[in-house]
Amino acid sequence: MPEQLKKHGFTLCLLLVIGFAVLFPHPAVVDAEWLTTIGVVVIFFLLGISIASQQLRKGYRPLRLHGFVLFWNFMGFPLVTGGLLILLGRFVGDDFRLGFWLLAIMPTTITSAVAFTDMSGGQIPNAIFSTILSNVLSVFVVPMWAMMLISSQVGVSIEFVPLLLKICFLVVLPLLCGQVFRQLMLKVATAIAPIRRMTSSGIILFIVYAAFAQSVESNVMGQVVLGDFIGMFLFTLVLLLLVSSFVWWTCRLSKYSRAQTIAAFYCASQKSLATGLPLAVMIIAAAPDLGRTALLVMPMILYHPLQLALAGVLSSRFAENAKAASMQ
């Protein structure tokens, strides 16, 4: 039981935070924007501290593997999402459609993709390089994608340059400062690095709480019927299984080594909540007419635990296969 709580602790905390926001929304209304901004800066500063440059040097080859991951992160995933919305979009409420597009253009997750690559016997340096490259490039790719998608889907325009400058100030600058801090004070950075995941998780939980509390205050949540939530859940599940299947098949066709295939699979099929949620919140803030922050980030929040559950099942199977292969 304690092991299960540890494994699914963050998912349970997400559910508790959402419930708490529904019951006690008032505290989040005060200074939520400023606290969220500070939280985003802290997340990326700690990420900069935790990145070891020697790990990046080990994992940058083969370059085509990282091209494969980037294609699926920013092109393949949106293509599958768009096709699925054409086929099954009538089962998804209008409030969640744009949320799925935002999910589709986000970068891969760092911690879980690397962790599951490790547990599955994959190429860890490749996973580290791919995940960090995806998250760094997302600073420039995601705003461009978001500007085009939001304009085409809901007719709301976003000023690209102010949004890009804001993201650079809140994401790139703290990331670089974290790297400089690591180079100048390696021992301190090494001591701080282990708390990154816990601190970032706490900040993400606050951002989720603030988004849902503000939506409850404005009565946005009360306007969505139960059927829309059920449709969103089923659509998210189908999207996860479909993307994961396509990524795996194309991994096999690319003829990487077994270890590289596993790394490419996790990095290409997963989506980051730690990076994605702050980016989504900044994008939504840049287009006030969108509103409904909680509904727009719901697909992202739901995709996170589902992808972890699937990865947990697959990692056990990959590890068993690797063990059987080594005994032959």
Q: Determine the pLDDT at residue 8.
A: 63
Residue ranges of alpha helices (H) inside the chain are 2-7, 9-23, 26-29, 32-50, 53-59, 63-71, 77-88, 94-104, 111-119, 124-154, 160-167, 173-184, 186-192, 196-217, 226-253, 258-269, 273-286, 293-327
Q: Determine the pLDDT at residue 188.
A: 86
Q: Determine the pLDDT at residue 228.
A: 83
Res. 88: pLDDT tops 70:
yes
Q: What percent of the chain has pLDDT over 90?
A: 32
Domains and CATH numbers, the chain: 26-314 (1.20.1530.20)
pLDDT tens string 259-282 = 999 999 999 999 999 889 899 888
pLDDT class of 131 with cuts at 50, 70, 90: very high
Res. 102: pLDDT tops 90:
yes
pLDDT class of 283 with cuts at 50, 70, 90: confident
Q: Determine the pLDDT at residue 100.
A: 95
pTM for this entry: 0.87
Q: Are 261 and 247 in contact (CB under 8 A)?
A: no
pLDDT class of 61 with cuts at 50, 70, 90: confident
pLDDT class of 95 with cuts at 50, 70, 90: confident
pLDDT class of 70 with cuts at 50, 70, 90: very high
Q: Are 119 and 319 in contact (CB under 8 A)?
A: yes
In this prediction, residues 113-139 reach a mean pLDDT of 91
Q: Determine the pLDDT at residue 205.
A: 87
Q: Are 71 and 237 in contact (CB under 8 A)?
A: no
- Nearest to residue 101, comparing CAs of 250, 283, 241, 263? 283
Mean pLDDT is highest, among 60-69, 260-269, 307-316, for 260-269
Name the residue type at position 88: L
Q: Which of 15-19, 232-236, 270-274 shows the lowest per-residue confidence on average (mean pLDDT)?
A: 15-19
Tokens standing for 147? 């500007």
Q: Are 244 and 269 in contact (CB under 8 A)?
A: yes
In this prediction, residues 229-242 reach a mean pLDDT of 93
pLDDT tens string 184-210 = 988 888 888 778 778 888 888 888 888
